[in-house]
Structure 1
Amino acid sequence: MDEGSDPDAPGDREGACFEAGVKFGTIYHQFAGTPLSPDSADSLARAMEEAIENQPHCESVTVEPRYDELERAVEEGPASYVEWTGRFADVRMTIRYEGVEVRTRMAMTEGYPLMEVTDVRG
């Protein structure tokens, strides 16, 4: 982004945060509803990481299944699996865009999978 031509135009820091938001939207909405069991949690987590790491500007993605929550949901439900939602994983991403590094996370906060920028450098 050309920061010199328009003082109101988004800069590289905003662009990097936007890229992080795109990746969160993809990870959340692409995989929501995927059948998930305690036995398949690791393979789905790796697939999510590899899919998102294909996107431009993505340096790293870590998806950590929340086994306690997953096992409880399966025990309470009528089937041996549930549908993936953000409550079943903690996610961390690092995005690098035009010399700016953005670190993000998604974790459960008061029963909601909150996505947030945790650090911006550059």
Structure 2
Amino acid sequence: MGAIVYLIDDDHSFRTALCRLLRGADFLVEAYPSASEFLKEKRPRDVAGCVVLDVDMPGMNGLALQEQLAGNRSTLPIIFLTANGDKAARALAIGSGAADFLTKPVSKDILVAAIKRAMETPRYAG
């Protein structure tokens, strides 16, 4: 199985559009409307992937999910993609190990490059 992009964003229309964009760039994509829905799914630990994650979501926000994944020793790289990224959130995300922190809207080329770069990082490579 190839690497999977796990997209977590509460905005349905944005999530749908981004799924199409990423699939068009030859990524396998699994999309979730919330952090809790993502956490409900069991994923094999040996499958390479990347999480593309919004910061501000109802319930568990993106930074809290990042913290929980780190506590679970997840090796999935996280790329934050948010419309509400302030300097404090960016600093916290990157300081906690996020592979990147991008602001919406983002160009396809920048996002695809960030995902490829994150998946190629030795710590994360499947």
**Superposition TM-score, scaled by structure 1 size:** 0.29
In terms of fraction of residues, the more strand-rich structure is 1
**Superposition TM-score, scaled by structure 2 size:** 0.29
Structure with higher Rg: it is 1
